[in-house]
Structure 1
């Protein structure tokens, strides 16, 4: 999702995985051992498990009592004394921000003339949220796109964030057939993970349950997932990440389902669709212990 509005999300082993992750990615970082976590994750620390959690992409505000983990946009500042995750829209352009990217780095339909010097056909859009997809379909373009995203990651590190959340890992599923695939997405996230780790930041996989099993391959340290309760996907993430999963639900039924299945293991919060700051009309924040 973009930082200023909601994005639609698609629709005994646990204990073993949790034990491995605790040993390999707890305080002090990964050992680079049995779960496939890369050695460059040694210097990073994932968020604490089963912690009070708030998702503040619509605007920063003082975290409620009991919150230990906060997600904020890279343009915001981290919350003092807490574990802070920094949001960047890595796989798509923000709404109305296509002109901040080289035309040739925007994903285009095959054939035709896009009319803006980028070559090829029309820019492929995430029509739900009016975001242009970035063309991560070649090594050269992935590197050029990553150069810009690395700058945002550097901003996160310089501000004192603890981790980064690159959004729209699943953008390849919204591309016309044959333009992008899962391997492209994994290759790009691998580039971002290496840089995040170099800067001492843990990195999240955002959504995309079908790629959760590749967490070691790409270097993801934890997951930030939206509506896994609603869509009954939480187990897909815990199979790969153990209890290192931050869950955001957007309706009461999703919160109830997430809390019933995972409330004693995962960090879970319900937010309003626009993730509005506390005090603004429409603000909603609930947790498993409320009500």
Structure 2
């Protein structure tokens, strides 16, 4: 149910009132405000294993399908913002809606068991499916969305995807999230950051330090938007000094993305 904001609250939101985790940005499409995390905010990213809710950080990024509204509510009670992880660019055979994806949009494997790239040109098929997934995130009370596999055009998907196809699809996903009052992050897709930074509220990156690419995320920092960053193979001493200089929200994780973390 949409609630009318008190006048004083609305004025504060329009002024970009700062919170512990970021700012709230007025959203004309929803009549409310959505969260926008600011550079340097600490986070936890856990996509496997029993969720550890004891990590003392302002932001959690967890699997949207695997967790209930009650879990999100419990994190909110601890003053956490919660990001809904979804795969929007690849099909996963283990998801409850997997059979709703026609075979015509399923491409080659993306390197993870049971996952295949999607033909993102087929927005006639994918838009309603992704809209339902984002509806799920909204119903569960998530503050934001992390859409994964957003750079298929740079991979061997089995489809002749072009950069323009990726831009169109990524903007579609961002619009669907914003229409539901949620923030949305750009996952990897470094080449298109200059053209997409306005469409997204934060970035999520894997291994930019290992591949000497972290400087390419600067447009998000310059726009006062967080960059949530993880490394898997480098010791923290190798990337934390640069992460601090760049104002990235960085930590070391294991590939399984369980509870273990070593933040900068």
**Which residue of the partner structure matches residue 117 of structure 2?**
133
- Note closer, same or farther for the CA distance 1:22–1:205 as it changes in structure 2 (3 Å cut): farther
Secondary structure at the aligned position of 1:28 is classed as: strand
Scaled by the length of structure 1, the TM-score of the pair is 0.71
**Is the contact made by 1:224 and 1:245 (CA closer than 8 Å) also made in structure 2?**
yes
**Which residue of the partner structure matches residue 43 of structure 2?**
53
Secondary structure at the aligned position of 1:203 is classed as: strand
- Note closer, same or farther for the CA distance 1:176–1:248 as it changes in structure 2 (3 Å cut): closer
- In structure 2, the gaps of 5 or more residues are 1-15
Q: Structure 1 residue 223 and structure 2 residue 203: aligned?
A: yes
Shift of 1:191: 1.2
**Which residue of the partner structure matches residue 71 of structure 1?**
61
- In structure 1, the gaps of 5 or more residues are 1-20, 32-38, 108-123, 278-283
Match of 1:153 among 134, 158, 162: 134
Q: Structure 1 residue 287 and structure 2 residue 263: aligned?
A: yes
Shift of 1:208: 1.4
The count of corresponding residues between Structure 1 and Structure 2 is 231
Scaled by the length of structure 2, the TM-score of the pair is 0.78
Instruction: Give the strand-richer structure, 1 or 2.
Output: 2
Q: How does 1:178-193 map to 2 (within 5 A)?
A: 179-193=160-174
Question: How far, CA to CA, are the matches of 1:129 and 1:272 in structure 2?
Answer: 17
- Note closer, same or farther for the CA distance 1:95–1:196 as it changes in structure 2 (3 Å cut): same
- Note closer, same or farther for the CA distance 1:202–1:235 as it changes in structure 2 (3 Å cut): same
**Is the contact made by 2:90 and 2:116 (CA closer than 8 Å) also made in structure 1?**
yes
Shift of 1:240: 3.8
Match of 2:25 among 25, 29, 34: 29
